Chain A
Amino acid sequence: MTELLAAGLYRLRRSKFLWLTCLALGAVLAILILWEWHDLHRTPPPVADNNLTASLPLSDFDQVVFSFAAGAVLLSSAVCAWELGAEYQDGALRNKLAVGRKRRDVYLASLTLTVLTVFILCLAVYLPGIAALLCTTGSFYMGWGRALALMAGLLLAGAAFASLFTLLSFLIPHRAAAAIVTIGLTLALLLGGAVLTDRLAEKPEYVSYEMTVNGEIVPSSIANPRYIPEGPVRDVLTFLADFDPGGQVVLFAQTKTERMGRLMACDVLFLVLTSTAGLLLFRRKELR
């Protein structure tokens, strides 16, 4: 498999689509952070307490970096589908199998390179993002420990997505169709994850304020109809939200770091399941 990996890396180095996407992502992020920083200093906060007001925009800077990283995962679906699609469209897959490369090795090498592609896209956000933060706020507002955990979480969710991209690209021989399905499914997983995360974050009740006849304002609790009560339904939905790498990406984009261990375990499970399915299906796939 090392030969296939070496050949894949050779091709990856020549992928203009990948490197231009990386350049565009990194440049836009760095410019955005520098522009916002410039804007923050040009218009001083209206409230006297600088410590209070400054904390909000500074935490926003962190969120910009992780929102871009989530965007990078979405963009990676297009890049990976395009690159993997060339294997079928250009017939390169035939050249590998006809000279005696095992299907398992071809699949696993492609999976490894797709994971690497997603990592490169994430790094194209992290590195300029960190550089821009060092030049402006000086560091992550949330602290390096939490930031590194989020980065690792996003990389692992990206790897789970990469295994899905590989599966789809090896099963759909038509490059454009594979790209459409891959991008569409990635969007669906991100949106589905966002909706599920939003619903599960609903509180059981919310506070309402009522004015009594005496003119007093009294808080009262009202049951939240959108809240999903504890029980099997909530458990299933929580598992789905955690298992969906799109849901994780949404959580990380919001810089939330709850249940990191469980989320990472779900990523590994997702990766193993999709890769096993891909290997089994590709083993008997009829190629033309």
Chain B
Amino acid sequence: MENVFLARNLTKSYGRAKVLSGLDITVPKGSIYGLVGRNGAGKTTLIRLICGLQLPDGGELELYGQTGRDLTRARRRVGAVVESPAFYGDMSAADNLKHQFLVLGLPDQDRVPELLKLVGLENTGKKRARSFSLGMKQRLGIAMALAGDPDFLILDEPANGLDPEGIVEIRELILKLNRENGVTVLVSSHILDELARIATHYGFLEGGRLIREIDAKSLESSLRRRLHVTVTDTAKMAAALDGLGLAYTVLSDREADVYGDTSVTDLTLTLRAAGCDLLTVSEKNETLESYYIDLLGGERHD
């Protein structure tokens, strides 16, 4: 598969603090790449480097096959919202878009009303962008990023400040751009459930490194079935499950999560034989969130 962006052994420090330490990442063409990581993991720093706002200390960046000085030209195919949405607060949404069209060297500004409608800002008139709500500002930021009709869209926490309806709209917009226009999207988000609805690929960042890169299908197949159980004695349960070779997480004296393919009947009989009664059982599927937490080192007994 052709790649839009890749980085090899990327390093970046702010003073003595090392933010990226040998990061390798590959964003395939046509993907929606979800960048997952806790605060300070290096997500925004990576985005700043892609956008040319900062320079890496070491390693290699490649955008559309271009490296070094040629990266600047390749960036013409990129639209980005980095951290907070960027626009002139003292101008209206339409004027901001017209300005961005001029920056891009696009004299034909017929697409301004279309873009405003696309992000739901068509009725803002001459209202200054400074007085927009957080959600409206986020939408304007996305509209600015879309002004150049980019092939590669980078969104840093696009759901920030959006109400539930706005989150759904942005999700649908990202999916539409990806499916209908073939736009590759790199999106960082803390809202993992939201990310799970759109991403085709995931990159998990921790301590300035990519600890896992996986596509959505592989992730789905690796997300295990989970039985949430209430028992009379989790110590006896643990001994019995160790004997069966099943993975589990003890949540309290009486509660635990059991992973793997096992029937409730087999589980009940095994626990009964170990002197532990199964009081309640409910089936749950492992989510992206639990997968991520596990990846960072959850207390599961495999």
Q: Interface of A with B (CB < 8 Å)?
A: 2-4, 6-7, 10-11, 14, 16, 86, 89-102, 284, 286-288
A residues less than 8 Å from B82 (CB atoms): 91, 94, 98
Q: How far is the CA of A287 from the CA of B84 in the complex (A)?
A: 13
A86 and B88 form a contact (CB under 8 A): yes
B residues less than 8 Å from A89 (CB atoms): 89
Q: How far is the CA of A100 from the CA of B105 in the complex (A)?
A: 12
The number of A-B residue pairs with CB atoms under 8 Å apart is 91
B75 and A99 form a contact (CB under 8 A): yes
B102 and A95 form a contact (CB under 8 A): no
Besides A95-B103, A97-B53, 19 more A-B contacts (Cβ < 8 Å) are A3-B102, A4-B103, A7-B99, A7-B100, A10-B99, A11-B91, A16-B90, A91-B84, A91-B87, A92-B86, A94-B82, A95-B86, A95-B100, A99-B78, A100-B76, A101-B72, A102-B72, A288-B53, A288-B83
Considering the complex of A and B, which 5 residue pairs feature the smallest CB-CB distances, nearest first?
Answer: A91-B86, A100-B75, A7-B102, A100-B76, A3-B105
B99 and A11 form a contact (CB under 8 A): yes
B86 and A90 form a contact (CB under 8 A): yes
**Min CB–CB distance B144 → chain A (angstroms):** 6
For residue B244, CB closer than 8 A to chain A, the reply is no
Given A86-B88, A92-B88, A98-B75, A287 contacting B54 (CB threshold 8 A):
yes
Contact with A along B33-59 (1 / 0, CB 8 A): 000000000000000100111110000
**Min CB–CB distance A3 → chain B (angstroms):** 4
B residues less than 8 Å from A3 (CB atoms): 102-105
A100 and B54 form a contact (CB under 8 A): no
A95 and B83 form a contact (CB under 8 A): no
Q: Which residues of B95-136 have CB atoms within 8 Å of chain A's CB atoms?
A: 95, 98-100, 102-105
Q: How far is the CA of A97 from the CA of B86 in the complex (A)?
A: 12
Q: How far is the CA of A155 from the CA of B99 in the complex (A)?
A: 28
For residue B79, CB closer than 8 A to chain A, the reply is yes
Interface size on B, residues (CB 8 A): 37
B residues less than 8 Å from A95 (CB atoms): 86-87, 100, 103, 144
A10 and B78 form a contact (CB under 8 A): no
Given A6-B102, A7-B103, A98 contacting B80 (CB threshold 8 A):
yes
| Residue from A86, A99, A287 within 8 A of B103 (CB atoms) | A99
A100 and B73 form a contact (CB under 8 A): yes
B79 and A99 form a contact (CB under 8 A): yes
A286 and B54 form a contact (CB under 8 A): yes
Given A11-B91, A99-B75, A100-B76, A94 contacting B102 (CB threshold 8 A):
no
Given A90-B87, A287-B48, A10 contacting B75 (CB threshold 8 A):
no
Using CB atoms, name the residue of chain A closest to B82: A94
Q: How far is the CA of A95 from the CA of B52 in the complex (A)?
A: 11
Q: How far is the CA of A6 from the CA of B106 in the complex (A)?
A: 11
Using CB atoms, name the residue of chain A closest to B53: A287
A97 and B51 form a contact (CB under 8 A): yes
Using CB atoms, name the residue of chain A closest to B101: A7
Q: How far is the CA of A102 from the CA of B71 in the complex (A)?
A: 10
For residue B85, CB closer than 8 A to chain A, the reply is yes
A residues less than 8 Å from B88 (CB atoms): 11, 86, 90, 92
B86 and A94 form a contact (CB under 8 A): yes
For residue B207, CB closer than 8 A to chain A, the reply is no
Q: How far is the CA of A11 from the CA of B129 in the complex (A)?
A: 14
B91 and A99 form a contact (CB under 8 A): no
Using CB atoms, name the residue of chain B closest to A102: B72
For residue B295, CB closer than 8 A to chain A, the reply is no
For residue B182, CB closer than 8 A to chain A, the reply is no
